[in-house]
A and B are shown apart, each in its own frame.
Chain A
């Protein structure tokens, strides 16, 4: 029985020895931080142009995380490639011949990749926050303000959960291309559009990214965000349920299907 620490060590070797890991994680960090900084700077310079209502509900914390919309896509690619490249390369057969316990293999891999994504996500979150607040100048907030630390740590959790969700989906679909083809448009377009359409909004609130991003908001109904029937942790919980569902699905597929 391949022991769990051995599988974790092996998966760590696998994940650190392919360049896609470096590139996807660096782009996740850079894109999120840079875009958040740019928007923060923009809002700082044009704060006076905002309406009174918008000024009253301005959420400096959430503003510094604006880059997450694009940065999360790099996390999706990271998550998909970690699992999907096993299938596209045929490595899965070598891996499963070495670790016949498929649950140990899959969850060992996801744990390693998830922890790595969390580390990068937290780093991204703190960098985005401090850089964004610096650029927001007088309109910024501090890490010591109520709920702000929760939002910053939450942004790291959010990125990790997005990555793990993608891993689960890739394990279900057993293909990088298929998983990317579904997840990218979903997170980039579908989810965002539906959450702005009045009728679909109530459903779209429960999409993983929509629900999960609630954790990053400090002011409940800031800017154009609307009322939601759950709080920050509730939202993250909903996202976690999606992740669990994807993982269970991925595991069932891996257990049942021939490699």
Chain B
């Protein structure tokens, strides 16, 4: 059990973590998500007593970390895969850690086998790849058979086999009743690994809920309705009817309608009453990735504008003036990344245009790849669908 109460960390004027309170319970894999620089690692370091919180406190098993009796036997952590002395062999590195808490040397060979490093155990860790470093770090975390495990980006640099192994390891550790706290920015990874999510953005808590709740709370499930092709009149008619009934309607690239706030039977009834034929009416659930992007988008946006104005504006102007070809590839990306995609970092014009780009997105892909470079800097002008979306646009913003 890890418990943080009002955790705050400031570095000078910059607040890395602000008033963060959460609990990490045993028996679950808890995913710790946030964009880069959102304070994940700082929080992890504070849990481990490496960094001192500016205010608030965090405890592991009811004790502040520094007051834990025999900490290595209770908490295992992988913070930084490369946090080893490169001149020391993997085995000696683990041995020095094992000796701290009276763990026998045989356990060192055991965990080396668990992480698959037995063949390079006596090689200097200097020559290790990032993936091997991660394995060594995981071995160090497992060494003391601890009840609480922290992993900071454990799958970074691992091969697919390694990722699968880490995923199963996390689940297994949680099933054994341990507290497993895993930070990541890989949403797709957390979707299949974690049971519970803690999401932070700019050092503040955005969500603390189960994966399932997280998706349904943050992504409006939507229905997709398709009217017969080659008859836009039917589609517009349906859109008008649904909007009138309180639904929010967006036009998708393929010409289908994306409807929220109305149940499937209700959509069907309304279509029937309006005399519109439906070729498709299907329920959809947004992925965890979408939910996450959507939630952290504002945080990411804010960071881009605040942090990078000074450093990035001159080079950006240079690119814009110098070669339009540089700008071009960005355009198709906006719709490709999907509905809720945040703007690419450092692109100030997009930071402003992003909300509109997101609205335009459903309509955009049909057209976006086509425009010549000259059209590029204005994705917001991508043709907006005629009637329905205008209303739903504002709703998008509100969310």
A residues whose Cβ falls under 8 Å from a Cβ of B: 1-3, 6-7, 9-11, 13-14, 17-20, 85-86, 89-94, 96-101, 258-259
Assembled-state Cα–Cα distance A259/B80 (Å): 13
* A-B pairs, 8 with minimum CB distance: A90-B83, A17-B92, A258-B51, A100-B66, A10-B99, A259-B50, A13-B96, A89-B85
Assembled-state Cα–Cα distance A3/B70 (Å): 8
Contacts A2-B100, A100-B65, A259-B51: A94 and B84 contacting too (C-beta < 8 A)? yes
Render B91-117 as a binary contact track against A, CB cut-off 8 A, 1 for contact.
010011101111000000000000000
B68: chain A residues at CB < 8 Å are 100
Return A97 CB to nearest CB of chain B, in Å: 5
Q: Which of B80, B92, B97 contacts A93 (CB 8 A)?
A: B80
Which of B71-79, B157-165, B322-330, B357-365 is near enough to bind chain A?
A: B71-79
For chain B, which range describes its interface: under 10, 10 to 19, 20 to 34, or 35 or more residues? 35 or more
Q: Which of B66, B69, B92 contacts A13 (CB 8 A)?
A: B92
B50: chain A residues at CB < 8 Å are 93, 96-97, 258-259
24 A–B contacts from the bound complex (CB under 8 Å) = A1-B69, A1-B70, A2-B72, A6-B101, A9-B99, A18-B85, A18-B87, A86-B85, A90-B82, A90-B83, A91-B84, A93-B45, A93-B48, A94-B79, A94-B83, A94-B140, A96-B48, A97-B77, A98-B71, A98-B97, A99-B100, A258-B50, A259-B50, A259-B51
Assembled-state Cα–Cα distance A13/B108 (Å): 14
The answer to whether B100 touches A7, judged by C-beta atoms less than 8 angstroms apart, is yes
B79: chain A residues at CB < 8 Å are 93-94, 97
B346: chain A residues at CB < 8 Å are none
Assembled-state Cα–Cα distance A13/B92 (Å): 7
Return B106 CB to nearest CB of chain A, in Å: 15
B391: chain A residues at CB < 8 Å are none
A20: chain B residues at CB < 8 Å are 87
Q: Taking CB as reference atom, which chain A residue is nearest B102?
A: A6
Contacts A13-B96, A13-B99: A96 and B49 contacting too (C-beta < 8 A)? yes
Assembled-state Cα–Cα distance A10/B51 (Å): 23
Return B48 CB to nearest CB of chain A, in Å: 5
Best-buried of B48, B66, B85 by chain A (most CB within 10 Å) = B85
Assembled-state Cα–Cα distance A90/B152 (Å): 15
Q: Is B212 an interface residue (CB 8 A)?
A: no
The answer to whether A2 touches B49, judged by C-beta atoms less than 8 angstroms apart, is no
Q: Is B89 an interface residue (CB 8 A)?
A: yes
The answer to whether A99 touches B99, judged by C-beta atoms less than 8 angstroms apart, is no
B residues whose Cβ falls under 8 Å from a Cβ of A: 45, 48-52, 65-72, 75, 77, 79-80, 82-89, 92, 95-97, 99-102, 140
Q: Which of A14, A92, A96, A100 contacts B96 (CB 8 A)?
A: A14
Q: Which of A10, A89, A96 contacts B84 (CB 8 A)?
A: A89
Return B139 CB to nearest CB of chain A, in Å: 12
Q: Taking CB as reference atom, which chain B residue is nearest A86?
A: B85
Assembled-state Cα–Cα distance A92/B89 (Å): 17
The answer to whether A19 touches B92, judged by C-beta atoms less than 8 angstroms apart, is no
Q: Which of B66, B82, B100 contacts A98 (CB 8 A)?
A: B100
Assembled-state Cα–Cα distance A43/B46 (Å): 61
Q: Taking CB as reference atom, which chain A residue is nearest B49?
A: A100
A19: chain B residues at CB < 8 Å are 87
Extra contacts besides A7-B100, A18-B88 (17): CB < 8 Å: A6-B99, A6-B101, A14-B85, A14-B96, A85-B85, A91-B85, A93-B45, A94-B84, A96-B48, A97-B71, A97-B72, A100-B49, A100-B71, A258-B51, A258-B52, A259-B50, A259-B51
The answer to whether B66 touches A258, judged by C-beta atoms less than 8 angstroms apart, is no
The answer to whether A258 touches B84, judged by C-beta atoms less than 8 angstroms apart, is no
Assembled-state Cα–Cα distance A258/B12 (Å): 13
B96: chain A residues at CB < 8 Å are 10-11, 13-14, 17
Return A140 CB to nearest CB of chain B, in Å: 41
B100: chain A residues at CB < 8 Å are 2, 6-7, 10, 98-99
Q: Taking CB as reference atom, which chain B residue is nearest A99?
A: B100
The answer to whether A89 touches B83, judged by C-beta atoms less than 8 angstroms apart, is yes
Contacts A98-B72, A100-B66: A90 and B84 contacting too (C-beta < 8 A)? yes
Assembled-state Cα–Cα distance A2/B144 (Å): 12
B82: chain A residues at CB < 8 Å are 89-90
B88: chain A residues at CB < 8 Å are 14, 17-18
Q: Taking CB as reference atom, which chain B residue is nearest A9?
A: B99
Assembled-state Cα–Cα distance A248/B318 (Å): 53
A17: chain B residues at CB < 8 Å are 88-89, 92, 95-96
Assembled-state Cα–Cα distance A36/B79 (Å): 48
Assembled-state Cα–Cα distance A97/B60 (Å): 13
Best-buried of A13, A19, A99 by chain B (most CB within 10 Å) = A13
A96: chain B residues at CB < 8 Å are 48-50
Q: Taking CB as reference atom, which chain A residue is nearest B80?
A: A90
The answer to whether B101 touches A259, judged by C-beta atoms less than 8 angstroms apart, is no
B45: chain A residues at CB < 8 Å are 93, 258-259
Q: Taking CB as reference atom, which chain A residue is nearest B71?
A: A100
